[in-house]
Amino acid sequence: MKIYLVGGAVRDKLLDYPSDENDWVVVGGSPQEMIDMGYQPVGQDFPVFINPKTGEEYALARTERKSGRGYQGFSFHTAPDISLEDDLIRRDLTINAMAEDDNGQIIDPYGGQQDLNNKLLRHVSDAFTEDPLRVLRVARFAARYHHLGFTIAPETMGLMQNLVRSGELAHLVAERLWKETERALCERSPDIYIQVLRDCGALAELFPEVEKLFGVPQRADYHPEVDTGIHTLMSLQQAARLSDCAKVRFSVLVHDLGKGITPDDVLPSHKGHEARGLPLVKDVCDRLKIPNEHRQLAMVVTEFHLLCHKAQELRPETILKLLKGLGALKSAERFEDFLLCCEADARGRTGFEDRDYPSSDYLRQARQVVINTDISDLINSEISGAEIGQQLSLRQTAALTEFKQNYPTSQA
């Protein structure tokens, strides 16, 4: 029995790239041997075992055969006589089909090292087209390594396009689609993930609401890049600069979905796109089973991002409503995430990439003014709870009025 380090850990070690994943393949072993060594069996599809000391996964070498539709439509076979090469050939990309033995020797039967040197994402075999999830995985690796100069091999892009045309993407389970997308959003260049999906035709199948943004014009005085889809990609680039948080990046991705359904006769204006976008964001979140914290942030960003942009022009009453609508008085974390999303949106325009975003500091100070409003004299009075709430709002509005009047013009 021999054990090899495989996949991402080997790839990133050769690239000298940060990696926190270690996957292992066991060649010549059996389930009973693994159990006898103290490994804990998990999984139902094929024998995978957990090392009780490290918590890392060890999988018996296996082959697979297409037996149905979608990501789960495979039958697996494991046996002691299955070779390492047999196991590696079933993988998606050559750069993921390498192994390292316990002496540090690299086993590379399918040219992964050469493709690393050529900065190329290339499929291992035509079996690539049997698994629709691989379209998303290639797009994610493109997002991960774009800054290093990696591109997708033309023949691999061709197979991705064939996979899209085959209808296989319709059989992807929502949880897998979201898991891969969330990982991609956290990569170095998440906008590349969206662009690659669009290039192979998958964006229209998986995220039609985002696909509809491309080709939709905006006012050039506000958006020199004009195209709403390009603005979305640029905003996603800015979100990656500002935050490594998946919910921030997701919220930026969907914040302008309402512009994709703006009536043609009012273009390039998009008045009311915030309200139009809310049902679309909800549909995406429902369809992909997006976590609630991502959904909640995406909804408030969609609804309130334009108010944030013009915060210093708002009346005190409107600022108070905005802060309450955001949940900013209850959750400082969501408030800060909201501000990051709005800053990414503001900077996601040609020529605006490095501009200051004064709305953030203005609203932070306004929030503090509201939080610091004192009603201690009312708490012990005889007035009712409802009246206390009314008095609190009046005092908060008055405090915001004074704040707005005294806010330094140099900051405005």
- Convert the pLDDT of each residue in 130-141 to its tens digit: 899 999 999 999
The span from the CA of 199 to the CA of 197, in Å, is: 6
CATH number at residue 68: 3.30.460.10
Q: Let me know if residue 30 belongs to a domain.
A: yes
Q: Let me know if residue 118 belongs to a domain.
A: no
| Greater model confidence, 79 or 353 | 353
The answer to whether 311 and 412 have CB atoms below 8 angstroms apart is no
Look at the chain and report how many structural domains it folds into: 2
Give the residue numbers spanning the domain of 399. 370-406
Q: Let me know if residue 144 belongs to a domain.
A: no
| DSSP label of 226 | -
End position of a domain, from candidates 77, 110, 143? 110
The answer to whether 330 and 363 have CB atoms below 8 angstroms apart is no
Q: For 77-122, what is each residue's pLDDT tens digit?
A: 678 878 999 999 989 999 999 999 999 999 999 999 999 999 999 9
End position of a domain, from candidates 81, 110, 139? 110
Q: Let me know if residue 375 belongs to a domain.
A: yes
| Greater model confidence, 399 or 78 | 399
Q: Is the pLDDT of residue 288 over 70?
A: yes
Q: Let me know if residue 259 belongs to a domain.
A: no
Half-sphere exposure for 412 (CA within 13 Å, toward CB) = 10
Q: Let me know if residue 176 belongs to a domain.
A: no
* Placement of tokens 């060890």 in the chain: 58
Q: Let me know if residue 73 belongs to a domain.
A: yes
Q: For 361-377, what is each residue's pLDDT tens digit?
A: 999 999 999 999 887 77
Nearest alpha carbon to residue 274 among 325, 237, 225: 325
Map residue 76 onto helix, strand or coil.
strand
| DSSP label of 266 | G
